[in-house]
Structure 1
Amino acid sequence: MIIDTHCHIYNSEMENAEEIIKEAQKNNIILILNGTDLESNEEALKLSEDYENVYAALGYFYTLADEITDEDIAILDNQLEKDKVIAVGEIGLDYYKRKENKDKQIELFEKMLNLAEKHELPIIVHSRKAMQDTYDILKKHNVVGSMHSYQGSCEMAVEFIKLGFYIGVGGTVTYKNNKKARKMLNKIGIGHVLLETDSPYLPPEEKRGEMNTPLNIKYVIKKIAEELDIEESEVIEITAENAKKLFEIT
């Protein structure tokens, strides 16, 4: 069993979402679909109900920080009660694409963390150029989760792990110029790594310029095995156990 802990395989992102889900199922890949807004949350929820190999993580992304209403929060609150919802995500902060509304982003992030605490769910965190604020906020909350497509330092990765977080490793670890990610991987080892693709985004080096799919997770597995000098089967087994433990997947 391979677990892709972060992807966006739903119809608002691509035309052939269900075909991709079926292909993943044939290849023994479990998918955690991450919603980011009202529409994608609904889609992820519906697909999780329709397919055995699909689970849902639901949340509101930083891009919605200026427009989320109390009604929107209430809708998400109810959705998090559903059986195959296993995390709150994708949520977080992004000061690279937008930093003039930091306070609003932080406010929304805090609301998402409060919901995660209420429902006793792990979280899936997006953090770009906002690592210290992300860490300081998480430290105040009783939450664990995944640091999606982690871009921080080795030292900060260790601090997140101390808080109970796993580090999401995807296609970017294969990029020739991404020595930072590989250094971090060697620092933390396989024991706190989760596999992810972020499909249809961030394809691995071998598929640059193409739409990413969960089938490309094999390239991530191969690179991790090469870097850590372990068998690909060990990467698959340990990362799956990590994901099962965090997200309580049976």
Structure 2
Amino acid sequence: MIIDTHCHIYSSEMENAEQIIKEAAENDICVILNGTDPLSNREILELVGKYENVYGALGYFHTFADEVTEEDISLLDSQLENDKIVAVGEIGLDYYHTRDNKDKQKQLFEKMLTLAQKHGLPAIVHSRKSMQDTYDILKTYNVSGSMHCYQGSAEMAREFIKLGFYMGIGGPVTNTNNKKTRKMLREIDMGHMLVETDSPYLTPQEKRGETNTPLNIKYVIRKIAEELDMEENEVVEITTKNAKDLFKF
């Protein structure tokens, strides 16, 4: 079994979501769907109840920071009780797209981490142009998790690992010019890595121009194996164990 630890395969993101989920199951791929707002969280709850190979992470993304209400937080709090919800995510900070609401982003991130801590769930964290703030907030919570599509340095990765976080490796690792991530791969033990696709986004270089799906996880695995001089089945075995250890299923 391969575990795609981060994707957005639901109707509000793509028309043929359920067909893609079925194709993943046929290829022995388990997916963790990540929510970003009340609509996607609701869609995920429906899908985890319908498909054996689907687990969920529910959360409110930085794009929801300006409109989130206490009622929204209470709703999420209750939704996290579902047995097939294995994380709080996708959550985090993004100063690349939006810089003028940093304080609200931080406040929402902290509320999400408080829920993760309350429910004993890991967090799936997005951090873009905000690595130091992300780290400074995470170190104040007793929460483990995944650094989604990690693009930082090996040095910073080691600091997140000390907090109990794994590095999520996705399609960008296949990009010819992405030397930084491949260097990080070579310097961080495989025991701290997860594989993901972020479908329908971040399509691997081999399928550039196409909509990404969990089936493309094979290209991520192949690149990791190539960089680390490992067999692909070794990468699958280790990252699957890592995902099961973190998400507890």
What is the distance in 2 between the residues matched to 1:123 and 1:6?
A: 12
Give the CA deviation at 1:179. Answer: 0.3
Give the CA deviation at 1:190. Answer: 1.4
Q: 1:2 corresponds to which residue? A: 2
What is the distance in 2 between the residues matched to 1:241 and 1:151?
A: 22
User: Are 2:34 and 1:38 aligned?
Assistant: no
Q: 2:97 corresponds to which residue? A: 97
Q: Please give the root-mean-square deviation of Cα atoms over the aligned residues, in Å.
A: 0.5
Letter in 2 for 1:232: E
Give the CA deviation at 1:189. Answer: 2.9
Q: 1:72 corresponds to which residue? A: 72
Q: 1:216 corresponds to which residue? A: 216
Give the CA deviation at 1:45. Answer: 1.1
User: Are 2:157 and 1:149 aligned?
Assistant: no
User: Are 2:244 and 1:241 aligned?
Assistant: no
Could you tell me which runs of 5 or more consecutive residues in structure 1 were left unpaired when the two chains were aligned.
none
User: After TM superposition, what 4+ stretches of structure 1 lie above 3 angstroms from structure 2?
Assistant: none
What is the distance in 2 between the residues matched to 1:226 and 1:80?
A: 38
* Per-residue deviation, residues 109-164 of structure 1 (Å, max 9, x unmatched): 00000000110000000000000000000000000000000111110001000110
What is the distance in 2 between the residues matched to 1:152 and 1:102?
A: 20
Q: 2:163 corresponds to which residue? A: 163
Q: 2:63 corresponds to which residue? A: 63
Q: 2:183 corresponds to which residue? A: 183
Equivalent residue runs for 1:225-236 within 5 Å: 225-236=225-236
What is the distance in 1 between the residues matched to 2:114 and 2:191?
A: 28
Percent identity reads 73
Structure 2 length-normalised TM: 0.99
Q: What SS is found at the alignment partner of 1:134?
A: helix
Give the CA deviation at 1:209. Answer: 1.0
Q: 2:53 corresponds to which residue? A: 53
Q: What SS is found at the alignment partner of 1:124?
A: strand
Maintained 8 Å contact 1:25/1:53: yes
What is the distance in 2 between the residues matched to 1:148 and 1:190?
A: 16
Q: 2:82 corresponds to which residue? A: 82
Give the CA deviation at 1:83. Answer: 1.0
What is the distance in 2 between the residues matched to 1:106 and 1:114?
A: 12
Q: 2:123 corresponds to which residue? A: 123
Maintained 8 Å contact 1:32/1:56: yes
Letter in 2 for 1:126: H
Maintained 8 Å contact 1:189/1:228: no
Q: What SS is found at the alignment partner of 1:121?
A: coil
